[in-house]
Amino acid sequence: MITHRNRVILGTLILLFFSCATQQSQKKTDDLTAFSSEDFNWRNLTGKAVYVSSRGSVPASIKEEVYTIPAIQQLEEAKELMPVSLGELTQKFLNQLLEQYPELTEHQKEMLNADSKCGMRVLSKKSDPKYYAFVHQKLQKAFLYLRKTKEIQSGYAFVGNIAKKNVGGQKGYIINMANGELVEIDISSAWKGVGFENDSGQTPLGYFLVYQDYHQKGWQSRTITTDPKHIFYQLHRQAYDGEAMYIYRKNTKIEKAYICSNQFGLIGQNFGSEYVDLAAPQYLKKSPEEVCYIDNSNSGKRQLYIHGSNRVDQLGFALSGGCVRISNINSFIIKEIVAKQGTMPVFLDAVPFHAPKPVKVPGFDDSDLESIYNSQSIVIRKQNLLDSASLLKKLYANVLPELANSLAYRMSKVDKQHANVDIYVTVPFPESAMKYWLTLHQSDEYEDIPLQQHFGFKGEYFKNVNRISSNPFFKAYHSKDCIIWK
């Protein structure tokens, strides 16, 4: 028999149950309700509307040829589902492509028709509500950081999930910061994983800005963009260098990985003092304290970019040299965003979308990346070369063979390569001492010339600092014994 007291307890438990359920439901939708339901207006945001040229002057035969290209058909279909603000930028690119299409070479047209990739998936509450809510729930830390911490509530940003393919990563999201609608694309981040060190070949996490124009001294990650008529052009040493031979990996020895079409410099905005709430600790199986106090401020000096690629077959897999690759067509949409906004916020995290699954990885060779993303440094340590009498002998016996073997291995991977070799010798006393010694070591006028330092070549200390012939400094290192410096 249920007493009054039992009824009260039972009622209280039911209320608590529904209260907890409501709180959990509210927690799941917090990031969704942070966005409005309305798109923004470019004129209100930037002071100017998007100018889209007319397609009326383009011959019908050109329109027919362009709109039968599979990747362009995908882009056109995605445009119909995009927010109006992004659709305007997409249409601007399409109209430019139509106008400049006759200027493309036959090789460019062949690559555009046969091998180019778009692969956009538009996510909104209307077009794909279930997956839209799922992505928002998984990437809510990135979205809330941009909207709440950085107070970016209009325009477009780019969020990259650089977890590996087998857990649902290697996806990028162009996000409307007003209404939360997304365009999902394939990306390719570093095959060496997540990292922040110089020359690590790894992709960093955190918050970045892409600038249309950035001229701070010392930064090397410059945004460089071009017109659709130069689609698939290679960027080599910050300049365009002709068309890619292929936009997929046919053979590393035939053509290495290149930046193509457009590049967008990633300038890190985290300096190590700020706790950045990430999902990456779960993916990396590390504590938040190890991961979330990140310093990505060296990304510009590391020459890291979001960029078009001649390896579109590797998009969707972690196979880059540290940059974030996207398709060449998608790079032109990013170009229009950056040009219109002046900057584009970027947030990179590593978020597992599901449990690991087996995946088939396309062809890859780590030598594909060497001469493109990093200058190679070969350091040979623990060689005592300070004895001037045997320096040359040790150089030939210990240093040059190892250096030659290492270079030969690297250069055998790719045809038509060359290397410049610089050999540096470090001595254990200040540079000023070397400067004075090099100036005077061939002179006979040693008498009463004061030494700048008390140390010889081997680091030995001399109390007497006068340059006299009886000083062991000059007895041991007379010019006739120092042929290596001539």
Q: Quick count: other Cβ atoms within 10 Å of Cβ 104?
A: 19
230 within 8 A of 223, measured Cβ to Cβ:
no
* Radius of gyration for the alpha carbons in the chain, expressed in angstroms and rounded: 30
Within 8 A by CB and 6+ apart from 181, the residues are: 39, 82, 83, 122, 123, 124, 132, 175
Alpha carbon distance 422, 430 (integer Å)? 21
275 within 8 A of 292, measured Cβ to Cβ:
yes
**According to the model, what pLDDT value does residue 252 have?**
83
**According to the model, what pLDDT value does residue 449 have?**
46
Alpha carbon distance 164, 350 (integer Å)? 8
What are the chain's domains?
Answer: 25-367 (2.40.440.10), 431-485 (no CATH)
**According to the model, what pLDDT value does residue 420 have?**
63
Tokens of 269: 């905005």
Phi, psi of 103 (to 5 degrees): -85, -10
In Å, how far are 53, 78, 176, 342, 458 from 84, measured between CA atoms?
A: 16, 12, 11, 19, 72
**According to the model, what pLDDT value does residue 448 have?**
47
**According to the model, what pLDDT value does residue 140 have?**
95
Within 8 A by CB and 6+ apart from 59, the residues are: none
Alpha carbon distance 482, 44 (integer Å)? 73
**According to the model, what pLDDT value does residue 35 have?**
86
Half-sphere exposure of 275 (CA within 13 A, CB side): 6
Among the listed residues 328, 337, 306, the one whose alpha carbon sits nearest the alpha carbon of residue 177: 337
Tokens of 432: 């000023």
Alpha carbon distance 17, 23 (integer Å)? 10
- pTM of the full predicted structure? 0.73
In Å, how far are 141, 367, 373, 408 from 411, measured between CA atoms?
A: 44, 9, 15, 5
Q: Quick count: other Cβ atoms within 10 Å of Cβ 432?
A: 10
Within 8 A by CB and 6+ apart from 415, the residues are: 253, 254
**According to the model, what pLDDT value does residue 436 have?**
47
The mean pLDDT of the chain is 80
Alpha carbon distance 98, 90 (integer Å)? 13
Among the listed residues 237, 169, 191, the one whose alpha carbon sits nearest the alpha carbon of residue 366: 191
Q: pLDDT below 50 — which residues of the chain?
A: 13, 17-18, 21-22, 24-29, 370-389, 427-442, 446-453, 457-459, 467-469, 471-486
